[in-house]
Amino acid sequence: MADDARSALASLPPLPAAFLEFLRENGLDPAMYSMADTIPRYIRLKPGMEPQIPEIESELKCRLDKVSWLPDFYAIPPEVHIAGSKAYQQGKIYGIDAASGAAILALDVKPGDHVLDLCAAPGAKLCMLADMLGGTGSLTGVDVAKHRLAACRTMLQKYSLGDRCRLFVADGTSFSILPVNSSLDSGEGSTDLKNNGNTFSEWTSKRSWKDRQKSKKAKIAGSPQPTSTSEPELIYYGKHSGLIGLRKCDVLRPSDDDEARSSGYDKVLVDAECTHDGSIKHIQKFEFWGWKTLDRRVLDAERTDDLLHLQLRLLANGFNLLKTGGSLVYSTCSLTVAQNENVVQQFLCKHPSAELQKINSADNWPCRSGSIFKTLRFDPATSQTSGLFVAKFTKFQT
């Protein structure tokens, strides 16, 4: 056992002292960062592409090992890169960690659901959600970073999954636009406004002269991220997203909590911003980005305090947008208790209509229980995945 411990420590990447102290303070074993070369890379195969697996294996020069506990997921060696492959470029496969896939599966998306992804970038989760919805329901993606949400838009279009989606650049802690409801589907009152720009016509990537001028001014001014008081910016909507022909003032109006209880989202995913310490591959990148960047992004005490506040606010707002009887999944790729169980505990204390749910599909998942009953933890040693914390809530009538 001692030899194994010495061997693990000897193979550790050159982690800086400040990060090792962060791990020690949070009760995390630095030896997990020596496992980077043993954890597979995971891909999701677009449904219907199974007959093309031999061709994809030939192109990637490796075997696709089916993940028995997660539909449509396959493991490949960690050194294999997919971005240059035809299978990736043609939208047959995309990279997403199996733990992230499990968090999405925990939502139990059904046909016809209205689904909200409150921290949507970089887009793989959004694609999986769209695949699960199929040709029914709607999917709303929100992210505070416009360039990252634009990458989501590109990804949805590449995989032909954007038909029922709409994407908003907005602060997820204050976003309050509900799904298109039945009273708006009829397009009542919209006919008089169809020709003066006040209704939604079919989306196009071509921007008006007015929008181009606005974008130029934003670039010159530095294009700050939206704040909690900024109006959401709709940067994409699909042909069957329910918006075409509707009045913009009806669709884009903010809602209140009472309205959301009856007309909110059926399912909400809050994969919150975090310190990413559970993502070994993410931490590895700091070797190239520079460890000073790690200090700024992960270890800065003021930023960490801000993160905890942000996580709680994201979870609370996602829950506010959930309809009664709906389900919300909160996840982070941090392994710290502070960003996971502590956030859950604080949230439950402040929201009496919230209740943790058992994740029924998790019975055969390679994960362990969190320190709060019904929460789950994936970690490299137990799961052969990135680290991920998952908690599922439901909203009941109070």
CA dihedral over 121, 122, 127, 129, signed as positive or negative: negative
- Alpha-carbon radius of gyration of the chain: 22
d(CA 51, CA 56): 10
Beta strands at 73-76 and 388-395: parallel, antiparallel or unpaired? unpaired
Q: Judge whether 271 is annotated as a binding position.
A: yes
Minimal CA–CA distance to 293: which of 9, 18, 11? 18
Q: 45 has which bridge partners?
A: 93
d(CA 146, CA 154): 12
E-strand ranges in the chain read: 41-45, 65-66, 73-76, 93-95, 114-117, 138-143, 165-169, 233-237, 265-271, 322-332, 354-356, 368-369, 376-378, 388-395
Minimal CA–CA distance to 387: which of 281, 293, 273, 287? 281
Task: Verify whether residue 333 is a known catalytic residue.
Answer: yes
User: Which among 119, 333, 349, 367 is annotated as catalytic?
Assistant: 333
The answer to whether 376 and 367 are in contact (CB under 8 A) is yes
Please report, for residues 44, 104, 210, the alpha-carbon distance to residue 76 in angstroms, rounded to integers and kept in the order given.
Answer: 11, 21, 47
The answer to whether 270 and 119 are in contact (CB under 8 A) is yes
Q: From the annotation, which residues make up the binding site for S-adenosyl-L-methionine?
A: 143, 171, 271
Q: Which residues are catalytic?
A: 333
